């Protein structure tokens, strides 16, 4: 645990909190509400709180890459701060590699290494991918100019596309993008230790981490833009650049989708463009409202979550039983007044207990940092 730095973008913390809100109970609120309402809007939101089965895209597919994108945006600010403090390149290398390794280890803990049999252990994880993708992207940024970072971003996506479409898989051939027959599945079966999430394929496998590096790099390129001083570029111009770039990436994703489908499980290059484009547009809107117009009252609940994202993510694994707490204090009351909406109110109370825990940490200025 460490104390928070005051030199932060409000929009970045709020957007991170908005992202984690859906994991911290937001999705369950809309799903349970849709069961007892006739609202088409609520029903549509509830339908988006799950992943696409294979090809295609739903809002919930954005949660993971948006978090990785935001982690990327933060890095140029952190790097500039470390350089200003006189940190040597060796020390920065050590920090980057240490952070990557710690996230991998936390991912293994999240998957239950402390309670599972070793033979049934899954080592690939969301945190592991964030750690590895962020680490390699940070090493690229540390050793290249911005132009070459852009080249790396596009080069990794083209390389992944070429390998996935042109390299034949024994028994399937080239260009197969099924659960069992893709090149990613074939390579992960060989090199990924432990149990694969889907038996023959893991959505957080090692091979599909290659394009995830580009997701982190896109965030870091965005961070470079936001870190420019006002005398170099106005805040409104930053907003327009992010909004325009995001729109272009979405259009390119839809075009690339025709030959390389948008697919979260395979983290396809078109998926990187789609999620990167939406991430840029969301950040541009949050940046405009929170850091340019400074209309911030509505975003405080998200900001509280966004300052402790790893804490709430690990807590959802069962390290802290928010569900039992919410049921202990509120279940009897809501059972007595609202049978139809009981699940909805309990979902709200679950989120409230989770948020109050994070609020307590925030007021104590306690933040889990990696």
Q: Which residues pair with 2 in a beta bridge?
A: 367
Q: Tell me the per-residue pLDDT of 112-126, one tens digit each, with 9 for 90 and over.
A: 877 667 777 888 999
Give the highest mean pLDDT range of 33-37, 41-45, 228-232, 272-276.
272-276
Give CA angle at 294 (217, 1), nearest 5°.
Answer: 55
Residues 6+ apart with CB under 8 A from 364: none
CA-CA distance, 21 to 302, in Å (whole number)? 7
Whole-number pLDDT of residue 7: 55
Residue 29: pLDDT band (50, 70, 90) is: very high
> The whole model's pTM is what?
0.94
Residue that wins the pLDDT comparison between 199 and 13: 13
Whole-number pLDDT of residue 118: 72
* Residue 240 to residues 150, 180, 225, 285, 333, Cα–Cα distance (Å): 19, 42, 12, 10, 49
**6, pLDDT greater than 50:** no
**328, pLDDT greater than 90:** no
Give CA angle at 156 (150, 157), nearest 5°.
Answer: 95
**205, pLDDT greater than 50:** yes
Q: Tell me the per-residue pLDDT of 212-254, one tens digit each, with 9 for 90 and over.
A: 999 999 999 999 999 998 888 999 999 999 999 999 999 999 9
**353, pLDDT greater than 90:** yes
Cβ 229 vs Cβ 86: under 8 Å: no
CA-CA distance, 335 to 341, in Å (whole number)? 9
How is the chain split into domains, by residue range?
10-363
Kindly report which listed range (4-13, 21-30, 92-101, 139-148) carries the lowest average pLDDT score: 4-13
CA-CA distance, 12 to 288, in Å (whole number)? 11
Alpha helices for 178-295 (secondary structure H): 183-191, 209-226, 235-256, 269-286
**340, pLDDT greater than 60:** yes
Q: Tell me the per-residue pLDDT of 304-321, one tens digit each, with 9 for 90 and over.
A: 999 999 999 988 776 788
**65, pLDDT greater than 90:** yes
Q: Tell me the per-residue pLDDT of 269-293, one tens digit each, with 9 for 90 and over.
A: 999 999 999 999 999 999 999 999 9
């Amino acid at each position: 645990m460490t104390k928070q730095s005051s030199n932060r973008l409000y929009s970045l913390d709020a957007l991170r909190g908005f992202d984690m809100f859906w994991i911290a109970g937001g999705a369950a609120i809309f799903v349970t509400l849709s069961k007892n309402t006739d609202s088409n809007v609520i029903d549509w939101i509830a339908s988006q709180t799950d992943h696409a089965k294979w090809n295609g895209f739903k809002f919930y597919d954005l949660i993971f890459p948006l978090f990785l994108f935001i982690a990327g945006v933060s890095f140029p600010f952190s790097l500039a701060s470390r350089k200003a403090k006189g940190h040597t390149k060796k020390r920065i290398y050590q920090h980057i590699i240490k952070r990557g390794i710690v996230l991998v280890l936390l991912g293994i803990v999240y998957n239950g290494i402390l309670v599972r049999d070793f033979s049934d252990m899954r080592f690939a994880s969301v945190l592991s991918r964030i750690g590895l993708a962020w680490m390699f992207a940070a090493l690229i940024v540390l050793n290249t100019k911005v132009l070459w970072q852009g080249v790396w971003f596009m080069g990794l996506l083209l390389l992944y596309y070429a390998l996935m479409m042109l390299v034949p898989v024994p028994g399937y051939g080239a260009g197969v993008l099924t659960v069992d027959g893709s090149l990613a599945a074939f390579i992960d079966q060989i090199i990924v230790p432990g149990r694969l999430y889907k038996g023959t394929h893991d959505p957080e496998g090692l091979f599909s981490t290659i394009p995830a590096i580009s997701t982190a790099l896109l965030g870091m390129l965005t961070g470079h833009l936001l870190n420019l001083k006002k005398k170099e570029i106005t805040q409104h111009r930053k907003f327009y650049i992010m909004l325009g770039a995001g729109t272009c990436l979405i259009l390119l994703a839809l075009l690339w989708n025709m030959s390389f489908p948008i697919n979260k499980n395979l983290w396809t290059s078109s998926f990187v463009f789609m999620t990167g484009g939406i991430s840029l547009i969301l950040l541009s809107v949050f940046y405009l409202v929170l850091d340019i117009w400074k209309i911030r009252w509505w975003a405080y609940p998200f900001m509280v979550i966004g300052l402790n994202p790893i804490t709430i993510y690990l807590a959802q694994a069962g390290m802290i039983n928010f569900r039992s707490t919410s049921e202990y204090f509120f279940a009897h009351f809501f059972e007595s007044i609202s049978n139809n909406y009981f699940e909805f109110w309990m979902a709200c109370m679950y989120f409230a207990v989770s948020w109050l825990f994070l609020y307590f940490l925030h007021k104590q200025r306690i933040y889990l940092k990696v």
